[in-house]
A and B are shown apart, each in its own frame.
Chain A
Amino acid sequence: RKEVEQDPGPFNVPEGATVAFNCTYSNSASQSFFWYRQDCRKEPKLLMSVYSSGNEDGRFTAQLNRASQYISLLIRDSKLSDSATYLCVVSETGGGNKLTFGTGTQLKVEL
């Protein structure tokens, strides 16, 4: 079983749509959670950290359920520029330790 699992997609959605991505992790010792965005052939870039109480950054909302070991990302009002691969990332301890990446979920936003 993979440590971090994601639906690879692709998710093809029209501009303006709301789309949700899910992620599960197997290591119950995981302490820090993130969503990264990776454009084709580029390095990953931090989209947002995920906190236990859930958090929102503009059109993006992240949720964490520690009991179910489940993380989600909701994107509202999708833009063409949101097209990318979204990586679910967990770490056993806070900053400075190694990150474990999911395979990513590909999103394609279309006109």
Chain B
Amino acid sequence: GAVVSQHPSRVICKSGTSVKIECRSLDFQATTMFWYRQFPKQSLMLMATSNEGSKATYEQGVEKDKFLINHASLTLSTLTVTSAHPEDSSFYICSAFRNTEAFFGQGTRLTVV
């Protein structure tokens, strides 16, 4: 069964609106979770590292005010895409390590129209 659960799996939203994506570790605690984005035919690119109880660490070129990350508990991290635009349409995936293995959520396909 799933080790990391991500919700929703698919969302369509209008330009200018915000979308929240949840990532949960199901049977373990994750002080750190990772958020990736994947455009068609491209590799997964790390957007940010979510840290429980502290601020997220963003990769170069990722706007922290646009991609809000909250890691309020040891099993839940959320990514909110604020004021979404069509160019934000992508596949967003979270991951967390259980022991030394990385597990990924099922991904969220975001389409901004």
Q: Which residues of A contact B (CB under 8 A)?
A: 4, 8, 41-46, 87, 94-96, 98-104
Residues 62 to 113 of chain B near chain A (Cβ within 8 Å): 91, 93, 95, 97, 99-102, 104-107, 109
Q: Are A98 and B46 in contact (CB under 8 A)?
A: yes
Tell whether A43 pairs with B93 under 8 Å between CB atoms, given A8-B41, A103-B41, A104-B43.
Answer: yes
Chain B 35-50 interface 0/1 with A at a Cβ cutoff of 8 Å (1 = within): 0100001111110010
Cα A103 to Cα B42 with chains together (Å): 5
Interface residue tally for chain B (C-beta within 8 Å): 24
Most chain B Cβ neighbours within 10 Å, of A8, A41, A102:
A41
A103 pairs with B43, CB closer than 8 A: yes
Interface of A is mostly: loop
A-B contact count (CB 8 A): 47
Chain B interface (Cβ within 8 Å of chain A)? 6, 32, 34, 36, 41-46, 49, 91, 93, 95, 97, 99-102, 104-107, 109
Query: Could you tell me if B102 and A4 are in contact, using CB atoms closer than 8 angstroms?
Result: no
Q: Give the dominant DSSP class at B's interface.
A: strand
| Shortest distance from the beta carbon of A36 to any chain B beta carbon, whole Å | 9
In the bound complex, residues from chain A placing their C-beta under 8 Å from that of B43 are 4, 87, 101-104
Which B residues are in CB contact (< 8 Å) with A103? Answer: 41-43
Please judge, given known A-B contacts A95-B97, A95-B99, A95-B101, whether A42 and B106 are in contact too, CB under 8 Å: yes
Point out the residues of chain A lying under 8 angstroms from B36, CB to CB.
101
What distance in Å separates the Cβ of B30 from its nearest Cβ neighbour in chain A? 10
**A101–B44 CB distance below 8 A:** yes
Provide the residues of chain B in CB contact with A102, threshold 8 Å. Answer: 43
Asked whether A44 and B44 contact (CB < 8 A) given A95-B101, A96-B100, the answer is: yes
- Are B46 and A43 interface neighbours, CB within 8 A? no
